[in-house]
Structure 1
Amino acid sequence: MTQPDLVIFDCDGVLVDSEVIAARVEAELLTEAGYEISGEELSEVYAGLTFKDIMLRIEEQSQIPFQASLIGRAEELVDRRLQAEVRIVEGAREAVAAVSGKRCICSNSKPERLDIMLTKTMLLPLFKESVFSSCGKEVMKPKPAPDVFLHAAASMEADPANTFVIEDSVHGIAGAKAAGMRVIGFTGAAHSYPGHADVLTEAGAETVIRRWADFRSVLLALSEWSDA
């Protein structure tokens, strides 16, 4: 078997069931500000984006101006809810531990939020210092830009072409593909919706799994195959 240089996990909606929590809070704030949207709709269309980018896209589409202070309110409310409610996705701990080689997290969440979620779910020890945020000290564009993925690969001395990424969103997949990496889609979190797997496949995922129990066998199979 060809051993991957690196396996990269997204965090929100992949390792921790946080997307549904954040989407509900952000949807409530956007609705109060004049743009009616449900948490489910927000997850389906904008999963993987920062709240700032979600606001900018909605402003452009709807011509409804939002106050910049909405970003701070969302950050505070989401962090509070995550601290109280976030849970690990079933099977995630075992799936991460099954990766014998290099592994890391690449996320659009800010470092402080990642620390809250990974500490509460007791996943942090499995990654140690290998947690990369597009909102970290390094200047990076968030997903769907490839910056955080390329930064992680360089930091961990991995070849992007021999790196696998597990993502639950179109925007995350776009970033990973732009970085020259291979992608496995994941639809096992609470925010998943009918047709989610098809959407991720169309975005470029080589295959899609719904259960972490299937991850090891899928990774082994894909590692034996390459475009070459």
Structure 2
Amino acid sequence: MLMIFDCDGVLVDSEPIAARVLSQYMSDLGHAICDADNHDRFAGLRLDAVRAILENENGELLPEDFEVEIRRRDFIAFETQLQPIPGVVAAISSIYARRCVASSGSEKKIHNSLRLTGLSELFGDNVFSAQDPRVTNGKPAPDLFLLAARDMGVKANECIVIEDSVPGVRAGKSAGMCVFGFYGGGHCSPTHANSLLAAGADKVFNDMVQLPKLTMSKI
């Protein structure tokens, strides 16, 4: 059994921070968008997909350094604001299964987030990024999760994906994996559980203390 964890919104409570960063960036360009709207539309997506959506909506091209600048601002904000999801260390430590991280963020961003929140030792080098050139399509395509399973030497039907976003849930199901939808992050609205279920999540939960029991039911 392999457990594949998304990073943002599952391991670290980064989504509210990232939403604020993007809102401020767009405001600097004269486009007002709210933090909650950012999460609802962009959670789980690569920055190139976010760029395409925003350019289409605003009818103009974003600055060439959009992705670089967003990553730079995220790094600065994370240094002082990033926290792990409550209970995640105890939950993961009590589950005796192989594990890895698979996220839309860059590998550098993932490792930095794990370092800042004391989670690095739980995963070591078992980190996979949708920015890897072997990942042709980001979430909701299954490419990233299939890459993680292949490199870890585990069949897709022997994987459990932990995701907080609709694109992530869809990616996991498209890969033929079991998916648990997590809606306990600081960005999640009261209706987010329903959105995850509608996307195909096998189970949903909002407290990491529930994860070991959910996992045992699938092993």
Smaller-chain TM-score bracket? over 0.9
Alignment map for 1:115-130 (pairs within 5 Å) = 115-130=111-126
Asked if residue 48 in structure 1 is aligned to residue 44 in structure 2, the reply is yes
| Deviations 1:57-111 (CA, angstroms, capped at 9, x unpaired) | 1222342332222222111111111122110000111121122121111001111
**Equivalent residue letter for 1:216:** P
Distance 1:65 1:34, change over 3 A: farther
Aligned residues: 219
Asked if residue 86 in structure 1 is aligned to residue 82 in structure 2, the reply is yes
Q: Give percent identity, aligned residues only.
A: 33
The TM-score with structure 2 as length reference comes to 0.94
**Equivalent residue letter for 1:78:** D
Equivalent position of 1:159 in the other structure:
155
Pick from 191, 199, 214 the counterpart of residue 195 of structure 2. 199
Deviation at 1:139, TM superposition (A): 4.5
Distance 2:136 2:117 in 1: 27
| Deviations 1:118-149 (CA, angstroms, capped at 9, x unpaired) | 01111111111111111135454322221110
SS of the residue aligned with 2:4? strand
**Equivalent residue letter for 1:178:** S
Distance 1:36 1:65 in 2: 16
Distance 1:72 1:104 in 2: 26
The TM-score with structure 1 as length reference comes to 0.91
Distance 2:138 2:129 in 1: 9
Distance 2:18 2:44 in 1: 11
Distance 2:213 2:51 in 1: 39
The alignment's C-alpha RMSD in Å is 1.5
Deviation at 1:164, TM superposition (A): 0.6
Alignment map for 1:53-72 (pairs within 5 Å) = 53-72=49-68
Equivalent position of 1:29 in the other structure:
25
Distance 2:76 2:21 in 1: 10
Distance 2:170 2:60 in 1: 27
> Is contact 1:29-1:70 (8 Å) kept?
no
Distance 1:75 1:195 in 2: 29
SS of the residue aligned with 1:81? helix
Asked if residue 174 in structure 1 is aligned to residue 170 in structure 2, the reply is yes
Structure 2 unaligned blocks of 5 or more: none
Pick from 99, 103, 109 the counterpart of residue 99 of structure 2. 103
Distance 1:93 1:20, change over 3 A: same
